[in-house]
Structure 1
Amino acid sequence: MAGLATNALAQNYPVTPQQRSTAQQTAQTGVPLSELAPNAPDEYTVKPRDTLWAISRLYLRSPWRWPELWGMNMAEIQNPHRIYPGQVLYLDKSGGRARLALRRGGSGMPEGGTIKLSPRTRYESLADMALPTLNPSLIEPFLAEPIVVDAETLTMAPRIVAGNESRVVLARGDRIYARGEAKSPLVETAGPIQTYRVFRNATPLKDPGTGETLGYEAQYVGKAQLQRGESTAKEEVDGKEVVYPVPATLDIVATREEIRAGDRLLPEPPRQLLSYVPRAPAQAIADGRIVSVYGNAVQFAAQNQVVAINKGTIDGIENGHVLAILKNGDTIIDKTSGTKETMKLPNERIGLLMVFRPFERVSYALVLEINDAPRVGDLLANP
Structure 2
Amino acid sequence: MIRKSIGLLAGMLVTVAVYAAGTQLRADHPDSYTVHRGDTLWGISARFLSKPWLWPEIWQANPQVRNPHLIYPGDVLDLSFINGGPSLRLEPAIHHEGEAIPAIPVDQLKAYLKDSRVVDPDEVKNAPYVMGFEEGDLTGTSGRNIYVRNLDAQPGQRWAIVRPTHVFRTYGGDEAQESDEMAANIAESDVATGKSPWNEEWKTDIGNSRPNHAFRGKTLAMEVTVIGTAEVLRGGDPSTLLLLSSIMEIRAGDRLMPVNDSPYDPYYYPHPPKTLPANGRVIAYAQERLNQVGPNDVVVLSIGSKDGVDNGTTFSLWQPGEQVPDDVAHSSWSRYNHKFVTLPDEYVGHVMIFRTFDRVSYGVVMDGLKPVKMGALAKMPE
Task: State the TM bucket, normalised to the shorter chain.
Answer: 0.7 to 0.9
Bigger shift: residues 246-255 or 341-350: 246-255
Q: 3-state SS of the aligned residue for 1:142?
A: helix
1:363 aligns with 2:361: yes
Q: Secondary structure at the match of 2:251?
A: coil
SS at match of 1:58: helix
> Following the alignment from structure 1 to structure 2, what is the Cα–Cα distance between the partners of residues 27 and 123?
35
Partner in structure 1 of residue 153 of structure 2: 186
Shift of 1:171: 3.7
**d(CA) in 1 for partners of 2:104 and 2:362?**
15
Measured after TM superposition, the shift of residue 95 of structure 1 is 5.5
Query: Are the aligned partners of 1:158 and 1:186 in contact in 2 as well (CA < 8 Å)?
Result: no
CA distance in 2, matches of 1:161, 1:201: 16
Q: Which of residues 83, 88, 93 is equivalent to 2:76?
A: 88
The question of 1:301 aligning with 2:293 is answered yes
**Cα shift at 1:355:** 0.8
Contact 1:331 1:343 survives alignment (8 Å): yes
Per-residue CA deviation, residues 288-332 of structure 1 (Å, 9 max, x unaligned), is 111111233533223211111110111000001011110111111
User: Which of structure 1's runs of 4+ aligned residues deviate more than 3 A?
Assistant: 23-28, 30-34, 93-96, 122-125, 169-175
Write the distance in 2 (CA, Å) between the matches of 1:25 and 1:198: 56
Query: TM-score of the superposition, structure 1-length normalised?
Result: 0.76
CA–CA separation in structure 2 for the residues paired with 1:316 and 1:281: 8
Tell me what 2:221 maps to. 215
Q: Are the structure 2 counterparts of residues 24 and 208 from structure 1 closer, same or farther at C-alpha, using a change threshold of 3 Å?
A: farther
Cα pair distance change 1:155/1:284, threshold 3 Å: same
| 1:178-200 Cα distance to aligned partner (Å, 9 max, x none) | 2225xxx23236xxx52x33222
Aligned amino acid, residue 86 of structure 1: G
The answer on 1:46 being equivalent to 2:35 is: yes
Which runs of 5 or more residues in structure 1 are unaligned?
Answer: 1-22, 109-121, 232-244
What one-letter code is carried by the residue in structure 2 that aligns with 1:145? D
Alignment partner of 1:197 out of 146, 160, 165: 160
Pair 1:329–1:124, CA change in 2 (3 A)? closer
Amino acid of the structure 2 residue aligned with 1:357: R
What is the distance in 2 between the residues matched to 1:83 and 1:26? 25
For structure 2, list consecutive stretches of 5 or more residues without a partner in the other structure: 1-10, 174-216, 332-337
Give the Cα–Cα distance (whole angstroms) in 1 for the partners of residues 79 and 289 of structure 2: 45
Contact 2:143 2:242 in 1 (8 A): no
In structure 2, the CA distance between the partners of 1:55 and 1:202, relative to structure 1 (3 Å rule), is closer
Report what 1:327 is aligned to. 319
Q: How does 1:168-179 map to 2 (within 5 A)?
A: 168-179=138-149
Q: More relative contact order in 1 or in 2 (CA 8 Å, sep 6+)? A: 2
The alignment partner of 2:140 has SS state of: coil
Q: Name the counterpart of 1:151.
A: 121
For the 8 Å contact 2:150–2:238, the answer to whether it is kept is no
State the shift of 1:268 in Å: 1.8
- Cα distance in 2 for partners of 1:354, 1:27 equals 30
The structure with more radius of gyration: 1
- Cα displacement string for residues 126-184 of structure 1 (whole angstroms, at most 9, x for unaligned residues): xx822211111121110122221112211221111112232223344443222225xxx
Q: 1:285 to 1:36 in 2, by over 3 A?
A: same
Q: Quick one: distance in 2 between partners of 1:270 and 1:308?
A: 23
Q: Aligned pair in 2 of structure 1 residues 367, 173: CA closer, same or farther (>3 Å)? A: farther
Secondary structure (helix, strand or coil) at the match of 2:43 reads: helix
Where 1:269 maps in the other structure, the secondary structure is: coil
% identical equivalent positions: 29
Paired residues, number = 321
